[in-house]
Amino acid sequence: MRTLKLVALISFGVLLVAACASDDSGDETTTTESPDDSGSDDSGSDDSGSDDSGGEDEAGDGGEPSDDSGTDFVELSDDPVIRALQEATKSDDYCDVIGSIEQASVQVLNPAMGAEAAEVEEAVEWMGKASGHGSEIAPAEVAADHQVVHDSFTGFAEAMEANGYDLMDPAMAPIIAERESPEVEEAEDHINDWEDANCA
């Protein structure tokens, strides 16, 4: 298993989407729905009887749990990709960290998968956390390389936030391409080589 060059993968996908979008621009149609549901106003349906504000949550006494225990306070996601990232932030195994980031890049950040903006946002958030944790536990052989890749991903995450986490936005292509510098490529190659030699 090799760690994918995340920025390169995403850049290729976005560039491909941008090319397709330009080809289809002449076929774009706009559909406007008439507001014919004006008589079906549901404003009177009040679910006030199901208010659970007084109940305790699973964190204990109903208060907001402390953030002093790493990610222990986070309720693990049912999504296996996000869950793997969450668990990676608590793992001492660097292979777990880079493996979870690789999985997320393929399953969520690949534009061909058609993930919604909310899914992309959650994945980017947890990938950043997992990558940050990786900076703390990376083996000495690739510690500097991981930091280079992490810094690049941080810049990518900021650009994604500014563009509404829309992988289909052609405006993302040049932003992503700028982040795949020779320095980042070399760092990714070093991490790939380490992974080949040390991860199952």
130 domain-assigned = yes
How many structural domains are present in the chain? 1
User: What torsion do the CA atoms of 30, 33, 34, 36 make, to the nearest 10 degrees?
Assistant: 180
66 domain-assigned = no
129 domain-assigned = yes
Mean pLDDT of 92-98: 95
pLDDT digits (tens, 9 = 90+) for 134-185: 999 999 999 999 999 999 999 889 888 988 998 778 877 777 777 778 899 9
pLDDT digits (tens, 9 = 90+) for 99-118: 999 999 888 887 777 788 89
136 domain-assigned = yes
First-residue to last-residue Cα distance in the chain: 7
Query: Which domain does 135 fall in, by range?
Result: 1-20+75-200
CA 164 to chain CA centroid, nearest Å: 13
Round to whole Å and give the CA distance between 28 and 25.
5
Round to whole Å and give the CA distance between 67 and 71.
7
196 domain-assigned = yes
Round to whole Å and give the CA distance between 191 and 186.
9
Round to whole Å and give the CA distance between 20 and 43.
42
180 domain-assigned = yes
For the chain, how big is the Rg over CA atoms in Å? 21
3 domain-assigned = yes
pLDDT digits (tens, 9 = 90+) for 47-89: 545 455 444 444 444 444 444 434 445 678 888 899 999 999 9
| Three-state SS annotation for 112-152 | HHCCCHHHHHHHHHHHHHHHHHHHHHCCCCCHHHHHHHHHH
